[in-house]
Amino acid sequence: MDVRDIRDAAEEWPARAGETPFQGRVTGVRTEEVRMPDGGWARRDYQLHPGSVSVLALDEQQRVLILRQYRHPVRHRLWELPAGLLDVPGENPLHAAQRELYEEAHCKAGEWRVLLDLYTSPGGSDEALRIFLATDLGDADGERYAAHGEELELETARVPLAELVRLVLAGELHSPTMIAGTLALHAALTGPGLDGLRPADAPWPARPF
């Protein structure tokens, strides 16, 4: 196969007996029977998810803004990038990312680019995630966002990118968004440079806006 053909392609196999046995406030569970290449049918259960955005905010000293937050399913307090749900249908992902950077870190950015797009767990969820790179950072205008729930115990830090890369490879950081964003930015800076990244309003077929 030609290396130029190495890219993901949209495709949909026939499915039947679809139902949604659970629908929560944000996500649900979908059950379907999917036609296999041998002609048989296999059951697939997966999470329905509205999609999400995240922000890798990089300051002029090459430090990344990170947050530590409790995540109950894994019983860990994880260091993560600012992130949030696309819980408004059709919401512009850039606007959502800017909102999350303000709410979680009281920060704004003058320059925005798309760092990468990914499916967080394509074998079990349809969640699509877009990670933005935000630079030219400053304090947000106005009062701080009134946090609630688990966000009341958010901790923030600014860590040199090189140190984050070391911690990722040492197995000390486990958030997939943190890992993907950190390594993608390192690859961009040591490769084509930030000008090789897509603009902030680049199309996102997984979550059209």
Q: Give one DSSP letter per residue of 72-123, joined into a string.
A: GGGTEEEEE--EEE--STT--HHHHHHHHHHHHHSEEEEEEEEEEEEES-TT
Q: What does the pLDDT average to over 94-113?
A: 96
Helices 161-169 and 176-190 pack at an angle, to 10 degrees, of 120
Q: What does the pLDDT average to over 186-192?
A: 96
- Arithmetic mean of pLDDT over the chain: 94
Residue identified by tokens 């049918």 is 41
pLDDT at residue 79, as a whole number: 98
What single-letter amino acid sits at 152? L
Active site residue 163: no
Q: What is the CA radius of gyration of the chain?
A: 19
Query: Which tens digits make up the pLDDT trace of 2-45?
Result: 888 899 999 999 999 899 999 999 999 999 999 999 999 999 99
d(CA 114, CA 136): 15
Inform me whether the pLDDT recorded for 70 exceeds 80. yes
Q: What does the pLDDT average to over 107-112?
A: 97
**Active-site option among 32, 91, 150, 151:** 151
Output the CA torsion 134→139→144→145 (10° steps): -10
Query: Which tens digits make up the pLDDT trace of 132-174?
Result: 999 999 999 877 766 666 666 789 999 999 999 999 999 999 9
Given pLDDT bands bounded at 50, 70 and 90, which one contains residue 128? very high
